[in-house]
Amino acid sequence: MSGKKTAVVVCPGRGSYNRTELGYLKQVAADRSWLKQFDTVREQLGLSTVTALDQAPAFSSREHLKAENAAALIYSCGIADFAAIDREQVKIVAVTGNSMGWYTALGCAGVWQGDSQMQLVTGMAQLTAEAAGAQFIYPLVNSDWQPDAVKQRAVAEQLWQHQGALFMSIVYGGYAVLAGAQQAVQAAMQALPPCDERFPLLLPGHAAFHSPLMQPASDQAMSRFSEQLFHPPQLPLIDGRGQIWPAGLAQATALKAYTLGDQVCQTYHFSKAIEVAVKEFAPDHLILLGPGSSLGGAVAQSLIAVNWHNWQSKADFSQAQQAASPFVLSMGLPEQRRQVG
């Protein structure tokens, strides 16, 4: 980057630490004082440390995808990547995230601090994983990332047929993430036309996140975690409704109520968060934190949907990304990471 550029930082969700990300934290965490703190909290909880999980000799789906382990890894990787952004080159103007990425955004913005960060991340992962239901993903766009009316109608039909049992969980760019009771999820997956040899795709180890079925988990979280664990944000935050929480002004009571209440039980509009990020903050770049680079497609599709930079298709976005300084920079990709770190 030439000169100081502005950026909105985007944090990934639960499914972003996979086999190819094993060892990611070891590579990117320069300052390890906070990591030792996280490991100590995990030891006190009787759980594997983040360091041990990240530096395991081999990836174990049973261990690494377990809710409380995956969440701890993803949160830690996000915090490490955020710390690696060179503030001499980049002025961060806001932070947002997808689903569990909201928690990482809270950590990046200083709302969650100290030991309580890992207590909250681990606790929320355990509470929500114990909840009922399942979650799956299905595309709403064609291969060029333009709206596909047939797929959209098919998803709408399933939501209508299974009212009260199936819900829009995450509006995720060109994808619908649906959640609900096991029976409704199975029926909807069988009814939706298969496409791309992948979809509909069940998300392993996921309960009915961002749906009313999470109310018991939300109730437990509200009683377990004090509002004293929430601090005024040091950077503006964009939540899963597209609402902006201004730096220094947001109240702990409201942040707790949203984070442990609405955010857990209501649809997460990630696409809206991206739209607000670019329209309200007009950044030079969106910086996607790791681990991995799974956010790229959904972010691009969200930008195409609002005709950002006149992008109307996957081809338009891909061509723009070939520029010397592309708009979307993923820290999970070494060549793009070098532009911000």
Angle, vertex CA 146, rays to CA 180 and CA 312, nearest 5: 135
CA distance 193 to 174: 16
The CATH number fitting domain 134-207, selected from 1.20.120, 3.30.160, 3.30.70, 1.20.1250: 3.30.70
- What is the spatial distance between Cα 77 and Cα 75, in angstroms, rounded to a whole number? 6
Q: Quick check: helix, strand or coil at residue 13?
A: coil
Cβ-contact 25, 77 below 8 angstroms? yes
Residues 127, 132, 138, 140, CA torsion sign: negative
Beta-carbon neighbour count of residue 129 at 10 Å?
Answer: 18
| Fold: same for 5-130+215-337 and 134-207 | no
pTM, whole model, 2 decimals?
A: 0.97
Tens digit of each residue's pLDDT, the chain (341 residues): 457 899 999 999 988 899 999 999 999 987 778 999 999 999 999 999 999 999 999 999 999 999 999 999 999 999 999 999 999 999 999 999 999 999 999 999 999 999 999 999 999 999 999 899 999 999 999 999 999 999 999 999 999 999 999 999 999 999 999 999 999 999 999 999 999 999 999 998 899 999 999 999 999 999 999 999 999 999 999 999 999 999 999 899 999 999 999 999 999 999 999 999 999 999 999 999 999 899 999 999 999 999 999 999 999 999 999 888 899 999 999 999 999 97
Distance between CA atoms of residues 103 and 109, nearest Å: 10
Q: How many CB atoms lie within 10 A of CB 91?
A: 13
d(Cα 148, Cα 140) in Å, to the nearest integer? 6
Looking at residue 325, what DSSP letter applies? S
Q: What is the 3-state secondary structure (H, E, C) of 138-164?
A: EECECCCCCECHHHHHHHHHHHHHCCC
**CA distances, 162 to each of 8, 157, 187, 313 (Å):** 37, 9, 9, 32
Domain residue ranges of the chain, discontinuous segments joined by +: 5-130+215-337, 134-207
Dihedral of the alpha carbons of 146, 151, 156, 160, in degrees to the nearest 10: 180
Residue 43 pLDDT: 97
- Give the CATH number of domain 5-130+215-337: 3.40.366.10
Residue whose C-alpha is closest to residue 13's, from 172, 133, 139, 163: 172
Q: Which helix (H) or strand (E) holds 172?
A: strand 166-172
Residue 1 confidence (pLDDT): 45
Nearest-10 Cα torsion for 156, 162, 163, 166: -80
Q: At a CB cut-off of 8 Å and minimum separation 6, what does 317 contact?
A: 145, 300, 303, 304, 311
Instruction: Check residue 194 and report its DSSP letter.
Output: P
